[in-house]
Chains A and B, each alone.
Chain A
Amino acid sequence: MASVSVPRTAAGILRRPTATTGVWSWFTTVDHKKIGIMYGVAAFAFFLIGGLEALLIRAQLAGPELSVVNADQYNQLFTMHGVTMIFLFVMPMAAAFFNYLIPLQIGARDVAFPRLNAFSFWVFLLGGLFLYSSWFLGGAPNGGWFGYAPNSTTDPSVGMSFYALGLLITGIASAASAVNLAVTVINMRAPGMSLFRVPIFTWMGLVVQFLLVFSLPIITVALFQLLFDRRWDTAFFDPTRGGDPILWQHMFWLFGHPEVYILILPAFGIISEILPVFSRKPLFGYQFVVFSGIAIGFIGFGVWAHHMYAAGLGPVANTAFGISTAIIAVPTGVKIFNWMATMYGGDLRFRSPMLYVVGAIMMFVIGGLSGVMHSVVPSDYQQTDTYFIVAHFHYVIFGGGVFAFFAGLVFWWPKVFGRMLSERLAKIQFWIMLVGFNLTFGPMHVLGMQGMIRRSFTYPEALGLTFWNQMATVGSYLIAVAVLVFIANVVITQRKPKGLDDEDPWDARSLEWTTSSPPPEHNFDEIPTVHALDEFWHRKYVEDERGRVVRVPAGAAPDHDPARGGGSGHAIHLPSPSFWPLVAAIGLPVMGYGVLYSWWVLALGALVTVVGLYGWALEPSVAEEA
């Protein structure tokens, strides 16, 4: 390192960026907090787009045989709705929370590989934009998020090629981010933070990263096979040449079911983190909750074929997967009982994050129960591919996941932005969303059992499905209103001057609240030493001899001084901003277009990425001080 005298760049064209403020700094930042915010903003934008697609879908289904959109447009809408919500909203929104919070919760200054972190974000964003460019280049993906071959390999529109390439690109982002965050949690914890002092949210984050590391390669191979079948006429899923379409299903769901837990475990983490704060009790059975999360992760790899009961795998497979599906309900149930026990005997303060968290638990229970019903294979023959399933997974992913995300947003907003969201508006939003959500997805259970299939752009009046469909449509627009309330809340809040009356507005428990809000760029002036689970709480309170909780007098705990976080921290070497992750990321969608259109473009994209990687490799991670 000593040999590097000037912050040289490989080509000498780009001067190393140094600014940490201003618009440009966002493009070159390697700060996990800024990257976390960008993940959040991008994911929320995709949430709005995916939501608009959902509103169009509900408009089309508001009555029998409507023609708001035609069959072709509808197929693109529901496919993009699913792909967007799963890959471009829930996963990156979870990544936003992980990125921002994990280093703070474990007392680290950043993630293990800050530039790789920036690379992950840019690849995700560009991959999402690549997918959406398909609307203008011959049609969006139209074969469902599950992309069943051979429909997906034979469809004449270019859409499913965008699907394969887009998901490959965002998969690279997820894989890089997963390795990065897993290493961060394993290797960068503050002194004293043993594994069982790691905050529960970070624990669930770690499980998710491992799920990603082991499930993404499988979908990667499947997507390549799909792409090659489409683009170069390989025979992987072509039955006329002996290929087996069921192979795609196995590979897709071998990824796809762990993916379900990738989507929901972050929510479990948020719930487990927030519930104790507002119950004013520690999480009941912390170790049990950790182990149940790990168990869910493991068993999640063994249930994939419950998506395929009707595919004709035979009674042996259906029995095995029915039983494994039932078993996964056990660790899930453990979590819910532990949450209930956390609330039991507590001093429950229903501030807005608590409302969302309790709402999330209650909605998730409904989705969980309908999920257990999927282990009952013979009755699932009736339910599969109907709106019963649509109802089920929206109760899990929206009811459990999105409600928990809003809980997390309201709860950590002061930490991230130094401003409190309006409690009033947050609560109004909660109640509108709760009603709208149940009105939308509750009736879908009935619709499914009364014979409404999924992915259907129309239904005849004679099926008698009109009433509940109308209810669902009304509900979906209520959800839209709730989201607008949230946006209004954000706009109003961000216009207020920065500053919190109370640096610890919720009487929180974990390490991220020991630093200032928002935290300084280096997170902690001094890396904290951890003595307990719920470290921050234990700095504020002690139990006396009779087990009563007593507040530590201010100033008595030398470690606790939130205001101190704003110190200069000039002696700390943080990784410097860099262009190269962005450059390397730009090459990937270019390569994607190359696969579709021209070898030259493919080569150009590869060149851009390689140049980016070399620039990255040759640049020291910390620039020499001028």
Chain B
Amino acid sequence: MAAVEHAVEHETTTGLPNTKLAMWLFLASECLLFGALISAYVLYRGADPLDGPTPADVFDIPYTSVSAFVLLASSLTMVLALSAAQRDDAVRMRLWLLTTAMLGMIFVGGQVYEFTTFYNEGLTVDVNLFGTTFYVLTGFHGVHVTVGILMLLSLVGMSLAGRLPADAAFPVEMVGLYWHFVDIVWIVIFTVVYLIPTGTAG
């Protein structure tokens, strides 16, 4: 949404486009949002679950590692999309944007599958604190990825309809900032939630 508010930008005081500055402020705010969510998870991790499964019961680390890798790879394709946009290569730009969106969809699809599996194994949002904090944290991230996918697809659509501004690289760069941020957040979440053992495993 912010990515398209660039239409009339005059010379600015700092020389940075307003939209870019706004995006950085927004992402700074988002850092605290995820910081708070991750804190809640960390504070409650290892709490003795009175009921329901523990992380060790449900996590499938290799599976999630693959989907994390897919999301990381999408950052690379995002960079390629931006680079194509900067070269005014609309065709490659669309191609890489689509690839990025596809990789994002694979990640979200993987998350849906993972949630379903966990749910079938008895992990619900209300069964214990692990379920509560896990679903809310990863769910918020999943929603962010989904919004990112929508923005990527919108860029492709606008590009096809010829409605991107002359400087197409700019909106691509803005969406890219958001996309990289969401990826980085996932690295943190993946490390904190999946990789660091909880102590009550077993």
Contacts and interface: CB of A to CB of B under 8 A. Distances in A.
Interface of A: 1-4, 112-113, 115-116, 175, 178-180, 182-183, 186-189, 193, 213-214, 216-218, 220-222, 224-225, 228, 232-236, 241-244, 247, 251, 573, 575, 613-614, 616-618, 620-622
B12 A232 contact: no
Contacts of B22: 112-113, 179-180, 183
Nearest to B51: A241
A112 B125 CA distance: 41
A-B complex: 4 closest residue pairs judged by Cβ atoms? A217-B33, A221-B36, A217-B32, A233-B126
A221 B33 contact: yes
B7 interface: yes
Contact of A179 (B8, B26, B44, B158): B26
A1 B14 contact: no
Contacts of A180: 22
A442 B119 CA distance: 57
Residue in B33, B36, B136 whose Cβ sees the most chain A Cβ within 10 Å: B36
Contacts of A241: 50-51, 128-129
Given A233-B126, A617-B1, A621-B7, A242 B29 contact: no
Given A113-B22, A188-B18, A217 B165 contact: no
Contacts of A182: 25
A218 B126 contact: no
A179 B30 CA distance: 12
B28 A236 contact: no
B83 interface: no
Indicate the size class of the contact surface on chain B.
35 or more
A600 to B, nearest CB: 19
8 contacts: A187-B13, A189-B13, A221-B37, A222-B36, A228-B125, A234-B125, A242-B49, A617-B1
A417 B162 CA distance: 44
Contact of A186 (B8, B13, B40): B13
Contacts of A236: 40, 129, 132-133, 136
Interface string B129-141: 1011100100010
Contacts of A113: 2, 5, 18, 22
A107 B110 CA distance: 51
A187 B18 contact: yes
A1 B13 contact: no
A214 B126 contact: no
Contacts of A251: 36
Contacts of A179: 22, 25-26, 29
Contact of B18 (A175, A183, A247, A620): A183
A420 B125 CA distance: 59
B60 interface: no
B132 A234 contact: yes
Contact of B128 (A2, A217, A242): A242
A233 B131 CA distance: 11
A182 B29 CA distance: 13
B154 A216 contact: no
A1 B36 contact: no
A214 B32 contact: yes
Given A214-B28, A224-B136, A244-B43, 16 more contacts: A3-B163, A113-B18, A175-B29, A179-B26, A186-B14, A187-B12, A188-B18, A217-B33, A228-B125, A228-B132, A235-B128, A241-B51, A247-B40, A573-B8, A614-B154, A617-B158
Interface residues of A, dominant DSSP:
helix
B47 interface: yes
B145 to A, nearest CB: 16
A241 B25 CA distance: 37
A1 B18 CA distance: 18
B16 interface: yes
Contacts of A247: 40, 43
A613 B30 CA distance: 20
Contacts of B25: 178-179, 182-183, 213
A539 to B, nearest CB: 21
Contacts, number: 131
Contact of B125 (A221, A233, A244, A618): A233
A189 B14 CA distance: 9
A235 B48 CA distance: 13
Contact of B12 (A4, A188, A233, A235): A188
B166 interface: yes
A46 to B, nearest CB: 25
Contact of A220 (B3, B33, B133): B33
B48 A187 contact: no
Contacts of A187: 12-14, 16, 18, 21
B129 A243 contact: yes
B61 interface: no
A617 B129 contact: no
A575 B18 CA distance: 15
Contacts of A218: 32-33, 36
Contact of B132 (A214, A235, A244, A620): A235
A190 B31 CA distance: 31
Nearest to A109: B10
Contacts of A621: 5, 7-8
A613 B4 CA distance: 10
Contacts of A617: 1, 3-4, 154, 158
Contact of A622 (B7, B13, B126, B158): B7
Contacts of B129: 235-236, 241-243
A621 B8 CA distance: 7
Contact of A613 (B1, B26, B35): B1
A420 B33 CA distance: 45
Nearest to A617: B4
Contacts of B158: 617-618
Nearest to B164: A3
A192 to B, nearest CB: 10
B199 to A, nearest CB: 15
B44 A243 contact: yes
Contacts of A622: 7-8
Contacts of A620: 7
A175 B42 CA distance: 26
Contacts of A222: 36
B159 to A, nearest CB: 12
Most buried by B among A116, A188, A216, A234: A234
Contact of A232 (B1, B2, B13, B125): B125
Nearest to B47: A242
Contacts of B33: 217-218, 220-221
Contacts of B140: 224
Contacts of B136: 224-225, 228, 234, 236
Contact of B126 (A112, A213, A221, A234): A234
Nearest to B49: A242
A256 to B, nearest CB: 14
Contact of A242 (B28, B48, B125): B48
Nearest to B36: A221
Contacts of B37: 221
A56 to B, nearest CB: 36
A372 to B, nearest CB: 29
Contacts of B40: 221, 225, 236, 247
Given A187-B18, A232-B126, A575 B8 contact: yes
Contacts of B2: 113, 116
